[in-house]
Chains A and B, each alone.
Chain A
Amino acid sequence: MTELAELISDRHILVCVGPGGVGKTTTAAALALRAADEGRRTIVCTIDPARRLAQSLGIDALDNSPKRLEARGAKPRAGKGELWGMMLDMKTTFDEMILDMTSRDRAERIFSNPFYQHISSTLSGTQEYMAMEKLWELHEEGRWELIVLDTPPTRSALDFLDAPKKVTDFLEGRFLRMLLWPYLMAGKTYLKAVNFGAKTFLKVATRITGSELLADVANFFLAFEGMYDEFKERSKRVHDLLAARRTGFVVVSSPQEASLREARYFVQRLDSEKMPLGGVVLNRTHAVPTVTGLEDPRALAARARSAGDGEILGPALELYASWREISLREDDAVKAALGDMKQVPVWRVPDLADEVHDVASLRRVAEELLGALPSRAGVARPVPAEPKESEN
């Protein structure tokens, strides 16, 4: 069973995946910070961090290139560790990729196509694809011991891994090219040879959109002519990198059923793709242990209240009872979603009711994670005291 500590200290790439709203970015940042604290040269590539977290890390002004994070307290504890950050800019990454693939002239031609401008920021899957492209680039730079990649919130777990294929298939546009053939053959009377479906499509499309857009689209695909093989090549090498032994996927989830269901799909998918699963991080869990003297908190609460006092104790005991029930339900949900899977480590971050928006609280999350035992133990750890910041 993998230990999270091992992921942090030995892997080269950690990819945080999961549905939206479960604390993916926070987890990615906390893991990166810990790795840097342990002395590794680390970069965290985030997608869309909450502004305050970004500010506190000093990455709010970040663009598409790595920047060293030296905000308050972000300086790693261990001397040689470094923490760098960057924020993925989908369009810039797309532009850079095209520049890398083709001549300046042709790239400019693509950039100036109005259709490209729309595609590069709206085509579904582009963000995921660009995140992977960026990952490859960072890997190629050769200067990072650890790259932690945050990923866009995918509606479905499958979206992330399928994105490159989806986008490249689109760019290859076999079907579209067939449909747009007459436009590609500009001015010639090839319509006769075009099959019925395509003719119909063209007629309708022209009628709906007017002919300019179609011309833009046709030119777009013309400009991409011959680049498909390279697209495929690139997807393949990223795929190989993701499947490499020194990569680890960290599936982030909340302990709620819907989110766990996504986590389960993801774990299964990684397995069938032979991608290396690191483990599952459960954020904001309510792990509450059974404590001697609190076996029947509600009865105790009733007693406290009937005594006429217990204004604080009564609600406190009822609150404990509720948390305990939530805790049990969460355990059941985790067991139902992941219980039948072998070798899936689960790490929990208890709900500290603190807002994680500064370096100190990120460190606290890392402490919870790396101290916590794999799921079954289910032992709640006490809330650690406010860590003292050693001012730089």
Chain B
Amino acid sequence: MMIDLMSGSLVTSRLAIVSGKGGVGKTTVAAALALAAAGDGKRVLLVEVEQREGLAPLFGKPHLGYEEKPLAPNITGLSVVPDEALVEYLYLFYGIRYVGRVLKGSKAVEFATNIAPGLRDILLIGKLKEAERRRVQGRYAFDLIVLDAPPTGRLPRFLEAPRSVVELVHSGPIRQQAQGVLDMVFDPKRCQTILVTLPEDMPVRETAEAVETLGKMGVAVGPIVVNSVYPDLFPAPALKTFAKDPQALLAADAARAGVQLESPALSELSRIVGAHARRTLNQHRSMRELEHDTGLATLTLPFLFAPRAPKALVGLLAQALKDQGAVG
């Protein structure tokens, strides 16, 4: 029986695939999402692919390996490596142990995963499926699996990989395996993509395009995480004036407050206030466009002026996600 442990939260599937354009903070968001759920008592598996080695440092741990290792209370970390996945696959499905070892030592896996494009991806997603279905003492081993996935540009291909195998390979067990993975990826109850973006024109457009592409493919898209949102510092009605030239208003305000400012100081302040006002306006517009174009719920994470140690950063963002009902 499927128990929906995530009910009431915005993330509704057991597998959450976190993706986004390069440089938007995907990895940090994936970690924060995992931490938010773990703080709620859920057992979370946090997974990275392509040996990015980005997750463990966020928890102050050395690099992850193919063995599942605790990263934080309730969080298990895993780095899925294709050849390890293949060896495990061969063992699980064929009981082949020795062959696996021979393969691992040679460059065969590298070549095998190259000759059957998508085989690499299918092994990676296949491993996710195994974790998603894994049961311990009559219940699912993990309440939530968070994948720090390849960037949005490569995501459709990554998710579709099993399909190309199904097309390319007409028989054999890998076809069945591929089909099983497809069943998971395209079941909104089991798998959701969480796209991370920035509140800027281009990332938002690309996100909207990705939502459309994924939608057409039939992959469920969950809430969108908007990262690095700058705070609204100035009253909304003044923003347009500020965006053009805030100097006069700044000078007047300084005079009222009795603060003396020379003109170089005023013009430097104006430059920065102007940039912030323009950014704020852009942000507002981008957020409106994002909501309009995708119709999806958004979760926002603040831009942080002051640096934080990785663990503190992830903790802070996890709290922000929790406060907005990402998990719960």
Contacts and interface: CB of A to CB of B under 8 A. Distances in A.
Interface stretch (A68-76, A94-102, A227-235, A352-360): A352-360
* Interface residue tally on A, bucketed by range: 35 or more
Contact of A312 (B157, B249, B264): B249
Contact of A204 (B96, B119, B233, B269): B96
B201 interface: yes
Which of A209, A288, A380 is packed against the most chain B CB atoms within 10 Å?
A209
Interface in B1-37: 21-24
Interface of A: 19-22, 48, 50-53, 114-115, 118-119, 122-123, 153, 155, 170, 173, 175-176, 179, 196-197, 200-201, 203-205, 207-210, 212-213, 217, 254, 259, 288-289, 291-294, 300, 303-304, 307-320, 322-323, 325-326, 329, 351-355, 357, 380, 382-383
B264 A292 contact: yes
Interface string B245-288: 01001100110111111101101110111111011001000000
A291 B268 contact: yes
Would you list the 7 A-B pairs with minimal beta carbon distance, nearest first? A21-B23, A20-B22, A310-B257, A353-B279, A322-B305, A21-B22, A293-B265
Interface residues of B, number: 74
Contacts, number: 188
Contacts of A204: 90, 96, 99, 103
Interface in B270-317: 271-276, 278-279, 282, 305-307
12 contacts: A114-B168, A119-B117, A207-B172, A291-B265, A307-B256, A310-B259, A312-B246, A313-B259, A316-B269, A352-B275, A353-B282, A383-B274
Given A208-B174, A292-B264, A315 B22 contact: no
Given A212-B170, A317-B269, A21 B24 contact: yes
Interface string B194-229: 000000111001100100000000000000000000
Contacts of B172: 207-210
B250 A382 contact: no
B90 to A, nearest CB: 7
Given A21-B23, A208-B174, A355-B282, A316 B250 contact: yes
A175 B258 CA distance: 79
A147 B91 CA distance: 52
B262 A288 contact: no
Given A201-B106, A320-B272, A312 B234 contact: yes
A329 B304 CA distance: 13
Contact of A118 (B168, B209, B269, B306): B168
Contact of A52 (B52, B201, B306): B201
Contacts of B257: 303-304, 307-310, 313-314
Contacts of B236: none
B196 to A, nearest CB: 12
Contacts of A380: 271
Contacts of B258: 307
B102 A355 contact: no
A48 to B, nearest CB: 7
A250 B301 CA distance: 33
